[in-house]
Structure 1
């Protein structure tokens, strides 16, 4: 059975056919999913979904792109929401230097505050990183994020950076890009990271794997990610599915 560790079923793109999307995920062997919230709207929707479906879990946090909008009141609200019994992680949080809505210094302050909150709550972190690898790793070290551990979500860095993250007690999560023909870095990471430290995800509705690249992504396609990793590692698909699901359950504290 498969565990998709990062879905946005709370996205408006799934408003019209959520039941069908979930049905296809079940048919593909997806046993559990974590619905990720990253602002007030998506956190509320994530918590509604996990109350409705027993096989869904949630994470809550505040996205770095919107760091400039986050208030102390929002942080208190997130702490309250993170105490929901089906919230298994804190995130996605991190740094995003691609978009210029939130200045870097504000993103970093908000990132640090949320790492501290996750440690207080005893929740693993889900880290968003776009064009900010060096600063992410530095802040994780300075804030002793190893205490919380967590996931480098949709990891796009080098195998060397992956090793640094493993040393900080983070799992490496691979998504659709590992299936792209010219994606050398994620393929190398898939080979070099030990199976007991790998996770799989879709990040749906974004980053659909080959052959659906450019289309809306959905949780059923996480099977393609697992198949690609199996091929790269020269092991069976069943071994990848089993190990990544066990890794996720261990990290999230799911029996």
Structure 2
């Protein structure tokens, strides 16, 4: 795909494959570059016609789960997508065994399929979060990691593709901007575990246990909660190391 994205409108279609309803969905996004990026984004859940309403609700959905948004995102999204395109090798057909199919079309070109579907899938997840954040459906990301008296607070704006870490220990407060790509690595580590509403605590303490706020004041005592994860001690050590890397690593 040799076109310059900065002078073309790009269309992206994402289809889940081998995933049953009510989880299957289709994303369609159109982006037109300029100083800012004009975006039309939709996520439509598919193949739900044969399901009873209770079957959908029992899986944690509302029955009104589709997303439709049009608006503008900052120019940093131009740079992000152009960089992704440059790193992509293309095929003329999709991999039928993959968990998803992604089709990319630039104006005046035939549809092509990226080989690095994982990178495109994660980029689309970021785009989706940026759209609903810009639409004020959800607030920017805020998470906290607490161990004893030390508190690390992570904040991220998907709209602006910016992330910050703050450390509080006693009377010391340190703030720094972190490279955007590091945010994704921490989130990936966080969401290896499973978090259940019945395990939520209203707050944390500084008595030595490790706590995580995954947003909205949903605190989990990682030292005592099951989290339905194998090798929990190893995971917790890696999670702590990932937060430590944010505060001790280079600034953005």
In the superposition, the TM-score normalised over structure 2's length comes to 0.24
Going by fraction, where is helix more abundant, 1 or 2?
Answer: 1
| TM-score, normalised with respect to structure 1 | 0.23
